[in-house]
Amino acid sequence: MTTLHLAPGMSAGGSLVRAVRLAGLDDEVLRFQDDLGCGPIEPYTPAARAAWWSEVYSDFDVAKEEAALAGFWERVATTDARLVVWFGRNSASELAFFLACADRLGDRPYDIMDVQLPMVRPEGGGDRYPGRHMAAVIEEDLRTLFGTERPITTAEREDARRQWRKLQGENAPFRVVTEDGLVSAPIDFFDEWILNEAAAEEWRSAARIIGNVLGYHGDPYRQTGDMMLRVRLVALVDEGKLVAHGDPWERSAPIRLPGGSLPPPPQLLTDEIRQRFEGLWQGKPPMRRWTANPLTRLATGDIIHATRFGPSSIICLVVSVEGGFIRTRSIAQQQVIDFDIETGVGAWHDELFGDTPIECRIDSIEPLPLEVYNALLEQDRWHRLVRDPKRWRENEARRRAWSTAEAFFRQHKLPAADGA
């Protein structure tokens, strides 16, 4: 008999697929693409869930998502394969998935795999990382769990179905994990965590606040993901409990508690930062000015390529050119980056990773083929408005356009210039 593994999410499913391959198995993995830890679950139908998610995400394809959810449950109901339900009871989303499966599967026999790996201390000390839910377990560790799944007991089945129907009756905005299992939570459950990571006299990026909430409140339970925290952060701004400078949906948006002063304009490159760049480029092509500076020809709407101080690179859309600086927005990360027009050197601060500037330098401004240029503009719009990394990764056309642009820029680097 073939085996069908039910994974509690797209990311968890991807790890499980790789684990199956590592183990040399011929099993199939079916991925669930909903998060039942949030939103209404009564009535629990694909149509109702897709309609709710369309209120969270802009440009949401309701029909497509409804069909995907309906297809998942249809496959589960009709397959003759042996079923294995994977989850971790320390994750609200994964535990809710298990309870929903138990309700749907009824008296049908199936196996369960409750991921409960021991605490692992990383090299150098520290208390992380517990593998108590699938999102925290890499495929090499998942592979070791094959063969340890077990049949669900009658008592477990009945208790899970009872819990799910109780949660449906309450139909709360969130469901969170406690020592007693999954319980309903109000819409403002995470607000205190978010407010505690903001300050009145310091502007902190939305990404930093959300990252801190996830980091400081991620053990032992994973209660929610970054998107729901972002929804609540924006709601707190709307309620006047937080103040935002710009669009609070932007991950780089400065956020503070009421009572602080307005932030200064985004910092441009300073002599001190530029001197730091010089040191970072030791052993690399020297800093120099172009004799006929091609950067002066850039205008709003152009797309440029920059190399970070390391092996990675970044593609940016030019927003403005003034005062000796080229202001850009990175297409993938939506970060504002200011480049010195004379040297092509730029930097930006990402508070999620600390105060050290992330530095880069323009290395290509070659006009892209029109179809690639238009595809990148569409990607910029997508990242600004949709903010859904999962859907971005799943779009093969966008990935192909991005890789084509990277290859094109590498083949059309800026010419060498004199003046070391």
- Tokens representing 392 are 């971005």
Q: How many residues does the chain have?
A: 420
Distance separating alpha carbons of residues 240 and 24, to the nearest angstrom: 55
| Contact yes or no for 122/95 (Cβ under 8 A) | no
State residue 386's pLDDT score.
Answer: 67
Q: How many helices (H) and strands (E) does the chain have?
A: 13, 16
| Contact yes or no for 124/188 (Cβ under 8 A) | no
Q: What is the DSSP string of 129-189?
A: -B--SGGG--HHHHHTTTT--EEPPHHHHHHHHHHHHHHHHH--SEEEEETTEEEEE-TTT
Q: Which residues of the chain have pLDDT under 50?
A: 119-130, 265, 268, 280-289, 352-355, 394, 417-420
- Sign of the CA dihedral 190, 194, 196, 197? positive
Distance separating alpha carbons of residues 221 and 245, to the nearest angstrom: 32
User: Which positions ≥6 away from 363 have C-beta within 8 Å?
Assistant: 305, 306, 307, 313, 344, 409, 413, 414
User: Which positions ≥6 away from 192 have C-beta within 8 Å?
Assistant: none
State residue 101's pLDDT score.
Answer: 97
Q: Which residue type sits at 403?
A: S
User: Which positions ≥6 away from 246 have C-beta within 8 Å?
Assistant: 253, 254
State residue 204's pLDDT score.
Answer: 83
How many CB atoms are closer than 10 A to CB 129?
A: 16
Q: Which residue type sits at 166?
A: K
Q: Rounded to a whole number, what is the distance in angstroms from the first to the last CA of the chain?
A: 70
Residue with tokens 């920059």: 306
Q: What is the DSSP string of 97-124?
A: HHHHHHHHHTT---EEEE--PPB-PPTT
DSSP, collapsed to helix, strand or coil, labels residue 81 as: coil
Distance separating alpha carbons of residues 212 and 193, to the nearest angstrom: 9
| Contact yes or no for 268/325 (Cβ under 8 A) | yes
Residue with tokens 């710009």: 246
Q: What is the DSSP string of 37-59?
A: TBS--SS--HHHHHHHHHHHSTT
- Tokens representing 224 are 């929610």
Nearest to 312 by CA among 360, 274, 349: 360
Residue 175 β-bridge partners: 184
The strands making up 111-114's β-sheet, listed across from edge to edge, are 28-31, 3-7, 82-87, 111-114, 150-151
Tens digits of residue pLDDT in 206-262: 878 888 888 788 778 889 988 899 999 999 999 999 998 878 887 767 889 998 666
Q: Which residue type sits at 325?
A: F
Please state the pTM of the whole predicted model: 0.67
- Tokens representing 233 are 């952060």
Nearest to 84 by CA among 167, 132, 142, 135: 142
Distance separating alpha carbons of residues 240 and 243, to the nearest angstrom: 7
- Sign of the CA dihedral 71, 73, 78, 80? positive
| Contact yes or no for 29/13 (Cβ under 8 A) | yes
